[in-house]
Amino acid sequence: MKKLTTREKLLIYILGCFVIGFFGIYFVILPSYSSFQVVNDQAAEAQFTQESMVMAIDAIPSTMEARDEATVTLASMKAIFPQKLPNEGLDMLLTQLCLDYSLAPKVLSVASNGIGSVLTFIPYTSDEPTSADVGTENITTDTTTTTAETTTTTNNNDITDTTATETTDTEETTDTTIPDSVTSAEGANTLIGVVNMELTGTQANFYRLLDAVAARPDMIITAFKITPETATTGSTSTSSSSNSSSSSTGGITKLDGGKVAINVTFEVYMMEK
Give the count of domains, the chain. 3
DSSP designation for 178: S
CA angle 57, 62, 67 (to 5 degrees): 110
**Same domain flag for 162 and 193:** no
**Same domain flag for 129 and 13:** no
Which CATH number fits the domain that encloses residue 93?
3.30.70.60
DSSP designation for 118: P
Residue 222: strand, helix, or coil: strand
User: Span 31-39, mean pLDDT?
Assistant: 91
**Same domain flag for 157 and 244:** no
**Same domain flag for 93 and 211:** yes
Q: Which domain covers residue 26, as residue numbers? A: 1-58
**Same domain flag for 118 and 141:** no
The model's pTM:
0.48
**Same domain flag for 148 and 189:** no
Cα separation, 106 vs 246, in Å, equals 27
**Same domain flag for 147 and 255:** no
Res 113 pLDDT > 60 = yes
Closest by alpha carbon to 222, among 189, 195, 200? Answer: 195
**Same domain flag for 115 and 201:** yes
Q: Is residue 206 part of a domain?
A: yes
Distance of CA 169 to the CA centre of its chain: 35
Half-sphere exposure of residue 54, counting CA atoms within 13 Å on the CB side? 6
The amino acid sitting at 47 is Q
At 53 the pLDDT is 93
pLDDT band at 12 (very low <50, low <70, confident <90, very high): confident
**Same domain flag for 153 and 33:** no
At 254 the pLDDT is 53
The 10s digit of each residue's pLDDT in 216-235 is 988 999 999 999 876 443 33
